[in-house]
């Protein structure tokens, strides 16, 4: 038996080997395939988990154990930026929603620019002139090292003096409006990570 065979690996050696295996397996956010069940997935790591005291690049960096609060705040802030409020469940004084619990919003009017952009992108399902609004629903999760959001959008219309009514789902492309919210959430997460 060689003298080297009796030496047990140190924690540092094990950690370096594990990091090497993860990198070799393609565990970077760019190579991860998104789960189609989720509208938005962003990988996260606790602050200070990078090598040499730096943070890991390509991940949302958050304080350890705060992933639920970060995910909830990003959702609530993005909705508020769009003029929406969460109606179910009731948001507490802390402004946080629980993970894996369905939520829904009220209806917020859409500006003409968004409808123009939608009609430009989807001419076969173009929306006729009317006042449009959108409401959202969904759920978020913080497991598996990712902040994940399942989002749905519902389009509403009304006349100048009438109440909101639902637009039939086969009359519009809902992913356009889901993408608008997903983009806002992602931007909010980026700002929170940079802070």
Q: Beta-carbon neighbour count of residue 141 at 10 Å?
A: 17
One-character DSSP codes across the chain: --GGGGPPPPHHHHHHHHHHHHHHTT-STTTSPPPTT-SEEEEEEETT-SGGGPPPTTSEEE-TT-HHHHHHHHHHHHHHHTT--EEESPP-TT----TTS-EEE--EEPPHHHHHHHHHH-GGGPPPSSEEEEEEEEEEE--TTEEEEEEEEEEEEE-SSS--EEPPGGGS-THHHHHHHHHHHHHHHHHHHH-
What Rg do the C-alpha atoms of the chain give, in angstroms? 22
Consecutive 10-residue averages of pLDDT for the chain (195 residues): 41 40 38 74 81 70 86 96 95 89 97 96 94 97 94 94 92 96 95 76
pLDDT score for 15: 42
Domain ranges in the chain are 3-194
Confidence at residue 6, expressed as pLDDT on a 0 to 100 scale: 38
pTM: 0.78
pLDDT at 58: 73
């Amino acid at each position: 038996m060689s003298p080297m065979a009796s030496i047990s690996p140190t924690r540092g050696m094990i950690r370096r080997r594990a990091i090497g295996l993860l990198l070799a397996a393609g565990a970077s956010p760019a190579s991860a395939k998104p789960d189609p069940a989720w509208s938005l997935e962003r990988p996260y790591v606790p602050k200070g988990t990078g090598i040499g005291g730096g943070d890991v690049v390509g991940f949302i960096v958050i304080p350890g154990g705060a992933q639920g609060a970060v995910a909830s705040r990003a959702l609530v802030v993005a909705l508020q930026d769009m003029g929406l409020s969460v109606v179910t469940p009731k948001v507490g004084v802390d402004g946080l929603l629980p993970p894996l619990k369905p939520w829904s919003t009220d209806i917020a009017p859409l500006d003409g620019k968004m409808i123009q952009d939608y009609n430009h992108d989807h001419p076969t399902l173009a929306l006729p002139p009317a006042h449009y609004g959108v409401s959202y629903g969904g759920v978020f999760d913080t497991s598996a090292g990712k902040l994940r959001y399942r989002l749905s959008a519902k389009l509403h219309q009304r006349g100048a003096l009438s109440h909101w009514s639902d637009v039939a789902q086969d009359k519009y492309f809902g992913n356009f409006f889901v993408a608008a919210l997903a983009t806002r959430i992602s931007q909010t997460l980026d700002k929170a990570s940079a802070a």
